[in-house]
Copies of this chain bind each other. A is one copy, B any other.
Amino acid sequence: MISSDNGADSNRFEVLTQTAANTPMGQLLRRFWQPVGLSRRVLTKSAMAIRILSEDLTLYRGESGKVHLVGGHCIHRLTRLHTGWVEGDEIRCMYHGWKYNGSGQCVHRPAEPSSISDKTRIAGYPTHEYAGLIFAYMGAGEPPEFSLPRNQAFERSGDLRFARMEVWPCNWFQHVENSLDPVHVSFAHQMGRVGEFGRAVTDAIPELSYEETSAGIKQTATRSAGNVRVSNWTFPNCNHVRVPGLTDGDPWIDTANWMVPVDDTRTARFSARSVASTSPEADQRITRYFEEADGYNAADYHEALFEKHEYPEDPLVRLTSAQDYVALVGQGVIADRTRKRLGKSDAGVAFLRNLFFRELNAIKSGQPTKQWRRLDKPIEMPIPTRPEAVTS
């Protein structure tokens, strides 16, 4: 048992789960570019309401094609701004026509005679589209260069790319802990039809090792000499793994999952996937598969999963989502970590918590946090050449 993680002081863990703007974790997360939406869901001249990091916001795409993220309510009488009209790269409130640009500055008040002060503004956050996702920088000051979230796996030319998201009713930190916990793969992902994925990675209980990098954590799970799985976890909430293809012979799939708090009781799980193109037939088949899986959100099947033990028949996306959903949401909306009993096999969870405690202590004491930066050289993420048979 790792005693430092079994304390009875619930406040010790609350700092990990609370993410509003006035909390240490809220400040820490806001120092990084965060995914906030799917590019393809925000059509030109359309707007949608989103909630991220406990903030109600308006995400819209101007006529220029650029995406903008501004406050959720008009400052005048507080009507939801996304119910208005996009005009050029600005958005106009449906109630009295006040208009805002992408930085949140009010630029027109049709029925007001006076000029507009610089203070007549709502929130406005820079955005950047990458790998099918819309990222935003919601922190103070100038945004950092869009570098840390980049990954050559999502920049290979010719790859098929798929982005999707689900929203689950539990705290974000349960998601992040899960990504530093390769032992769960041997159990939670063993159920049902797991095909090559099962043969390759759910085989045996792995040996674990963790190493802090310039970008986050290198996680190594060794199941046998020929079965070593490496994950490249990027601070503060992205995990990059390689998983087997849909059927034997399909190329392995690079997957990056970002776990972003909607608020403290809901989490958006954004996924970017990249698959090497092989033949037109395979490309078409793989594309169709991901399109079909696109609308799946395990939360829509909560009752089937928890009361009827019914899992989707699916070789990858829907099944693993459903399994993780049961494992994470089953811990409660905000897991009571004082009741948990970590073991040696939770080394990744302990490593993760300690790393966050260190950064949060810096925030709380006004000290600089680590200057996380993209890896100089990508981590090697080996693919097992000959997956072994399933060990029951």
Contact = CB atoms under 8 A, between A and B. Distances in A.
Interface of A: 1, 48-49, 73, 75-80, 83, 93-97, 109-114, 120, 183-184, 186-188, 191, 205, 305-307, 309, 323, 326-327, 330-332, 335-336, 339-346
Given A83-B326, A326-B80, A330-B78, A97 B343 contact: no
Contacts of A184: 95-96
B341 A76 contact: yes
B331 A187 contact: no
DSSP class of A's interface residues: helix, strand, loop or mixed?
Answer: loop
A355 to B, nearest CB: 19
Contact of A76 (B111, B112, B332, B340): B340
Contact of A111 (B1, B188, B345): B345
A335 to B, nearest CB: 5
A109 B186 CA distance: 13
A73 B110 contact: no
Given A95-B184, A95-B187, A111-B343, A331 B205 contact: no
A96 B306 contact: no
A96 B182 CA distance: 10
A57 to B, nearest CB: 14
B111 A183 contact: yes
Nearest to A120: B341
Contacts of A326: 79-80, 83, 94
B341 A97 contact: no
Nearest to A49: B306
A76 B93 CA distance: 50
A304 B335 CA distance: 34
Contacts of A120: 341
A327 B343 CA distance: 52
Contacts of A346: 76-77
Nearest to A46: B309
Contact of A332 (B78, B97, B183, B323): B78
